[in-house]
Amino acid sequence: MTETQLPIRSRTFSWADPTLTAARVGSTSGLEMLQAMRDGDIPPPPILQMVGGTGFEVQEGHITVFMPAAEFHYNPLGTVHGGIIATLLDTAAGCTVHSTLPAGVGYTSLDLMTRFLKPVTVASGTLRCEGAIITRGRRTAAAEARLLDERGTLLAHATSTCLIFDIPTP
C-alpha cells in the first residue's frame, strides 16, 4: 500500500483570539484568571485546544489538566510524542505557579526537567496531569507535575523553575 492509498484522518479545531485573554493577565490574580478559564468565562489558551485538552481543575498552588490520549499525538513509533507529554507537564507546572500570583504579576518558565517513565498510547485513556508548588519566593518558584493514565499509573513527571516578574502597566 502506498502513502496515497493509506486511509487519511483529519482534525479541525478552533480557538479564540489569545490577545483578549492575555490582556487580562495584569488585572486579575492568576487564580481568578484560571478559574475564569475553567468556568468558560474567558477562553483557554490556543495550546490547550491544539493538543486536545478537555479541561482542568484549579485551586491555589495546584492544577490538574485533562487530555485524552489520541492518535494525532503519535510519533512514528505509535506512542504519544514526548513533546506532547512535555507540553502537558509544562502547562501543569506553569499554571500551578500562575495560580499563586497576584494581579499585576506574571511568570515564565526557566527550565523543565522531564522524565518519561512509560509509553503513552490511546489505551492510556484520559491523561491527568497534576501540578503542585514545591516552593515559591519573590522572584522564582519551583513546581512539579505528574502525568497519570486513567488507571492512575505514573507515566512521566517533571520539575520546573519559573521566573516571577511584575507586568508593566500600559
Kindly list the domain boundaries of the chain, sorted by start residue: 18-166
* C-alpha to C-alpha distance for 4 and 32, rounded to whole angstroms: 49
Residue 168 is predicted with a pLDDT of: 84
pTM over 0.75: yes
pLDDT value for 23: 81
Confidence of residue 4 (pLDDT cuts 50, 70, 90): low
**Across residues 96-107, what is the average pLDDT?**
96
**Nearest to 129, CA basis, from 58, 76, 67, 69:** 67
The answer, yes or no, to whether residue 1 has pLDDT greater than 60, is no
Pick the CATH number of 18-166 from 3.10.129.10, 1.10.1040.10, 3.40.190.10, 3.55.50.30: 3.10.129.10
pLDDT tens digits for range 50-79: 999 999 999 999 999 999 999 999 999 999
Residue-averaged pLDDT of the chain: 94
> Is the confidence at residue 129, as pLDDT, over 60?
yes
Q: Give me the pLDDT at residue 25, please.
A: 79
What number is the average pLDDT over the span 21-38? 90
Q: Which residue has the higher pLDDT, 105 or 5?
A: 105
Share of the chain above pLDDT 70, in %: 97
